[in-house]
Amino acid sequence: MLGIRNFKNRIAIVTGAGSGIGRELALQLAAKGSDVIITDIVRERIDHVVSELKRKGVRAEGYLVDHSKFEEVEKFSSNFFSNSVLQCRYRRGQQFKGTSA
């Protein structure tokens, strides 16, 4: 998968993962040991998939993000890609603070 062999201690972000291909990808990444962050535009779908992921024993969080809206994507991505403090906090098992629903 993606040329990456070791998925443990990695954080995977899967967009549009409330159903379909995204959900399946999230579940497979979890099965390989990744923590998983998912996004979707439907809260109920997010909650359902996050529950599925947590039942597999991985850390998982879900966020309402509409990836067709630049401002939402920018806000979401800036929290995860330019704030190493947030990533360190996540590694210590704390909740992200930032883009959420």
Ligand X SMILES: NC(=O)c1ccc[n+]([C@@H]2O[C@H](COP(=O)([O-])OP(=O)(O)OC[C@H]3O[C@@H](n4cnc5c(N)ncnc54)[C@H](O)[C@@H]3O)[C@@H](O)[C@H]2O)c1
> What is the contact surface with ligand X in residues (CB under 6 A)?
15-16, 18-22, 39-42, 45, 65-68
Q: What is the dihedral of CA 49, 55, 59, 61, to 10 degrees?
A: 20
CA–CA separation, 64 and 41 (whole Å): 5
Give the shortest CB-44-to-ligand X separation in angstroms. Answer: 10
Give the shortest CB-85-to-ligand X separation in angstroms. Answer: 26
Give the shortest CB-21-to-ligand X separation in angstroms. Answer: 4
Return the number of the residue (47 or 90) whose C-beta is nearest ligand X.
47
Return the number of the residue (21 or 31) whose C-beta is nearest ligand X.
21
Q: Which amino acid is at 80?
A: F
* DSSP per residue, 68-83: T-HHHHHHHHHHHHS-
Other Cβ atoms less than 10 A from the Cβ of 45: the count is 19
Q: Which residue is nearest to ligand X (CB)?
A: 20
Return the number of the residue (47 or 89) whose C-beta is nearest ligand X.
47
Structure tokens at 48: 């359902």
